[in-house]
Amino acid sequence: MNATGTIHLDASDAKVFITGSNRKTAHVKIDRDVTTKGISFGDREFSVDVTEQNGNLSIREQSHGSTVGVIGSYHEQYTIKLEIPQGTSLNIDGDDGDYFIKAVNGSIELDLDDADVELTGCLGNSFKIKLDDGDLRMDTGRGVLDVDGDDADVNIKNSNFEKVTARLDDGDFIIETSQADMSNYYIEVQDGLVAFKVLDGGGHFDIRHDDARVTTEGNFEIVERSEDRTQVTLSNGNAKVSIRADDARIWLTR
């Protein structure tokens, strides 16, 4: 594949480890071990198709046949390990599983169901992540972030995003970020916590809320505080932060 190509991965119930390096090609290793005890019935064929086209790599899980039933115990260990060029982009469609992605500097797009995601040292400029019941952890980030989650917790450290869009139902959104001039953040949370820590810069915070508690720590200046709206400013910047919350706690700190 090309050093700046895209990997399309379609898998379910897998532990996925993706590591970027200075290598010029992709290395794919897939292990799946199934252990049953007792009586099993049904016929399910499993395979993975790996194809290259126009410098991009496609890895797609193929399952055929009827659902396997077991009277006894069933254990599956399914691991996908990818070593790829650092400039590769990712487009992943997955069901259950865990995803550990390290040092991948292209764009990252994830559409996952019940999955946990950990991004380490990923220095791309575009992150689009959709989760149902799962957690997202990032140790850095920049550019554009778009997160859509249901029962999901998001924890982001040491970031410098220009634009953030986050919509969560029942979950916590915790972010540490520097605020560049003209950066824009929109955060919508129903139940849970929004913890927003400003590492550098400043701006205007507009919080619309129902049954929510808003707490500030640091040199925030309160512009308006009412039953359903709180506005504060933080000097040394002109970023715009909009937070929409129902029954949630809001904590702003500098």
Q: What is the pLDDT of residue 246?
A: 86
231 shares a domain with 188: yes
Q: Is residue 217 part of a domain?
A: yes
Do 53 and 153 lie in a common domain? no
My answer on whether 131 and 74 are in the same domain is no
Span 101-154, pLDDT tens digits: 999 999 999 999 889 999 999 999 999 999 988 999 999 999 999 999 988 999
Shared domain check, 152 and 90: no
Alpha carbon separation from 34 to 40, 71, 74, 77 (Å, rounded): 12, 15, 7, 6
Could you report the per-residue pLDDT of 51-75, keeping only the tens digit for each?
999 999 999 987 644 455 556 655 5
Is the Cβ–Cβ distance between 42 and 69 less than 8 Å? yes
Domain co-membership, 137 together with 232: yes
Beta bridge partners of 77: 33
pLDDT band for position 15 (cuts 50, 70, 90): very high
| Domain's final residue, options 73, 95, 117 | 95
Domain count, the chain: 2
Higher pLDDT, 64 or 225: 225
pLDDT exceeds 60 at position 4: yes
Range(s) of the domain holding residue 251? 125-254
H or E, element range at 1:
none
**29 lies in some domain:** yes
Task: Say if 242 falls within a structural domain.
Answer: yes
CB 166 within 8 A of CB 187: yes
Same domain? For 221 and 175 the reply is: yes
> Can you give the pLDDT at residue 64?
44
Q: Does the pLDDT value for residue 193 go beyond 60?
A: yes
Whether 155 maps to a domain, the answer reads yes
Contact 210, 245 (CB under 8 A): yes
Please, what is the average pLDDT of the chain? 90
**Residue 47 placed within a domain:** yes
Single-letter amino acid, residue 239:
A
Q: What confidence score (pLDDT) does residue 166 get?
A: 97
Domain termination residue (choose one: 95, 114, 141): 95
Same-domain pairing of 168 and 251: yes
Decide if 116 is inside a domain.
Answer: no
Share of the chain above pLDDT 70, in %: 89
At residue 29, the pLDDT reads 94
Cβ neighbours of 93 (radius 10 Å): 17
* Residue 70, φ and ψ in degrees, nearest 5: -135, 130
Instruction: State residue 199 phi and psi, 5-degree precision.
Output: -85, -35
